[in-house]
Structure 1
């Protein structure tokens, strides 16, 4: 489904761009308006009827004390916007805003800086600590996917972290879940993935902090969720939905991809809609392939002369390497040993167990059985979490398991229906063990 709609949007963009290129209008504001209207139509076609969603252009976010944001090119909102006087501008409250899109006809370092500063204002305009329940679900799933830990520890919000980087990722993902999606869309500019990566690197390099001059607003949180320039995408790995893992104490938080910009746009927006409106994730279709991404930035917290700040590392990748075909992998559930399978089934049926008691499930008296090493595979596979006192529980929303004769034991979160679709593809329509 998502690929079909993305193809329609790509065709729309191509046709509209050809039409706009024939308009011989030297007035820059009018040209900007034309591309904003094109983008508004793309966003309008990217969501579903019946959700009370609307698209507004050239309008503002008004926070609870009456302060206005900078003008936002395009916003996807829930509910109706309020017209400002006799103008064609509107104002909306922060809680209405689902996505904010800044539109550029041509992207370069100057225009990238302009779009970045506008989208930064989304963070500045309001407090994001009073949020509806769905944002907590999104936060939890994001932190689980990135750090293999729950946001809750011993029935309270987590206060124990591996290091300062993990702690900051924890707080940052809470804000990512609460804030609107921020997107930059440009129709011309950088011609290659390598060129766009270099352009963003140059922009970041121009805004590095020093001990003598701190430049605020350039942490991973403020980076747009998505930048689209012609056919190329830059994507944030905040697990909403694209996952940037922790690698040796650094967070891989920004990626590039040379194709499928409308697929990326839809996946970012639809992921938020599934949480906000409790829509089943099967809207994404079969979803049994995983596209590779090219890492652009890693980040970790550092302490320089008593000042804590984010250190951002550019992952330099040659033009030749980027021009190679992106690897597409088939999605598969987690393959389990029999003992891992038994533990997952126990957790599905009972709820939780302390890691000191796990060997009792298998009738083990072996003193050499080490629960921590036994659990490592399941933790890294995002199936379970272990809190600081050793209590083991499921990390999934809807865990399903299956034994396939000749293939072994499997498990996955079936919240999206992906595991069920995989089973149908593998072998008819077998019934999961726990349904």
Structure 2
């Protein structure tokens, strides 16, 4: 659904934009309002939002902890009825009913970018403050299902079962888990510029400059939670890899919280909105995007570190010339490729209820039969982002994990069976799966 829907939405925006360009509007606020209306109408088409979920697109204000924030919202996707603000067409919504917040810009310039980032960052900080208030005073138990899974994919470790168990993690892991929980629960934030930067490098550079200027001025407020989920300018996008739905890793243990794309900004908006709807309602949304994968370019790389027991983020940015970022939108999904030793380990894991004991006996077996240590096998499995260490065991991250064993005893492993089926058909691989089901896992 998502690719077809994105094409329709993109055409809708393009037609409306061409209509507006024919008008000589006297001042920017009117022009800005006209472009905001395009975004509202485009997002609310039947092909984009299932109306049965009682989702609405409105303008107005957000309330946090019963207090209305002063920031006026151009456009937000909300659930259920809100409170009309006076006699206007604006509405007030509690932040718990807000799924997506949009800042709309006809032309995205640096000053507009900074203003929008600060606007959205303030809302996120208020959300975080209210989150802590509810934990302390209301006995709030946040849903950490998505954050737990993403934490395990990033670290290869089992995540806390309850949020308050975050205090049992190291400082570095605790910081990462906190960010992932916040990202999974807060509204997604989008700065949508219809025009502006003409190159992918230009959009990347201004983002890096904004972060660097904030850092040099002593402003530490633009941490990962305060960075917008998506920024668009023409077809160029900066996307947050927060696990809803995108999660990008570089090398072995470096997280890419921000990356860029260059092919279809409308598609990215829909993917993020669609994912948020799914997590908000705990519903499996139909995607039907086949084997297509977005072609991404890492921008901000982060690694949680710890010095003398105090956690902190180690950031660096990836800089590329524009010509080195020119690429086709033709990335395809594929399962993880594993060797004989890993296939053998997964087979034993399946026979033992989904848990593989990382002990001396297993090390002796793998060394004798395959010439590798148990630590080496565990490391390969963790790098697939499909397995995690839980105490003395390694086990799958997802409730279902599918393995195909080849004639030479190597294999393919994945958790997305629909895509696995398609990949097998495309590559003439018999779809004969061995599946590990973890009973009780969501």
Give the TM-score normalised by structure 2. Answer: 0.85
Separation in structure 1 between the aligned mates of residue 305 and residue 156 of structure 2, nearest angstrom: 22
Shift of 1:233: 0.6
CA contact (8 A) 1:193 1:232 kept: yes
**What is the aligned-residue RMSD (CA, Å)?**
3.4
> CA 1:48 to 1:103, structure 2 compared with 1: closer, same or farther past 3 Å?
same
Report matched runs for 1:260-279 at 5 Å.
260-279=264-283
Q: Quick check: 1:380 aligned with 2:388?
A: no
Structure 1 residues 381 and 75, CA, compared in 2 at 3 Å: closer, same or farther?
same
Partners of 2:327 and 2:148 in 1: how far apart?
A: 33
Structural mapping, 1:397-412, within 5 Å: 397-405=399-407, 408-412=410-414
Q: Structure 1 residues 368, 13: closer, same or farther in 2, change over 3 A?
A: closer
Q: Report the equivalent of 2:296.
A: 293
CA contact (8 A) 1:69 1:121 kept: no
Give the Cα–Cα distance (whole angstroms) in 1 for the partners of residues 356 and 202 of structure 2: 51
Can you list the C-alpha shifts for 1:90-136, whole angstroms capped at 9, x where unaligned?
11111111111100111111100111111112213332356998941
Match of 1:394 in 2: 396
Q: 1:250 to 1:434 in 2, by over 3 A?
A: closer
Structure 1, unpaired ranges of 5+: none
Question: Could you tell me which residue of structure 2 aligns to residue 359 of structure 1?
Answer: 362
Q: Offset of 1:78 from its aligned partner?
A: 1.3
Cα deviation, residue 337, structure 1: 3.3
Cα shift at 1:279:
3.2
Task: Give 1:287 deviation, angstroms.
Answer: 3.1
Structure 2 residue aligned with 1:16: 16
Counterpart pick for 1:142 among 132, 139, 150: 150
Partner of 2:43: 43
Report the CA distance between 1:332 and its aligned residue: 1.5
For the Cα contact (< 8 Å) 1:382–1:396, is it kept in 2? no
Partner residue of 1:27?
A: 27
State the 1:150 CA deviation: 2.8
Contact 2:102-2:192 at 8 Å conserved across structures: yes
Aligned to 2:320: 317
Label 1:224 to 1:285 Cα distance change in 2 as closer, same or farther (>3 A). same
1:62 aligns with 2:63: yes
Q: In the superposition, relative to structure 1, how do residues 348 and 121 fare at CA in structure 2: closer, same or farther (>3 Å)? A: farther
**Count of residues in correspondence between the two structures:** 426
For residue 432 of structure 1, what is the aligned residue in structure 2?
A: 433
1:158 CA drift (Å): 5.5
C-alpha deviations, 1:346-366, integer Å up to 9, x for none?
Answer: 444513242117629969888
Q: Comparing 15-24 with 399-408, which one deviates more in the overlay?
A: 399-408
Q: How does 1:34-433 map to 2 (within 5 A)?
A: 34-45=34-45, 46-57=48-59, 59-126=60-127, 127-128=130-131, 135-152=143-160, 157=165, 165-209=172-216, 214-245=218-249, 247=251, 250-281=254-285, 283-300=286-303, 310=313, 312-322=315-325, 324-326=326-328, 328-348=330-350, 350-356=353-359, 359=362, 370-387=373-390, 389-405=391-407, 408-414=410-416, 417-427=418-428, 430-433=431-434
Asked if the contact 1:123–1:222 (Cα under 8 Å) also holds between the matched residues in 2, the reply is: yes
Tell me which protein shows more helix as a share of its residues: 2
State the shift of 1:254 in Å: 1.3
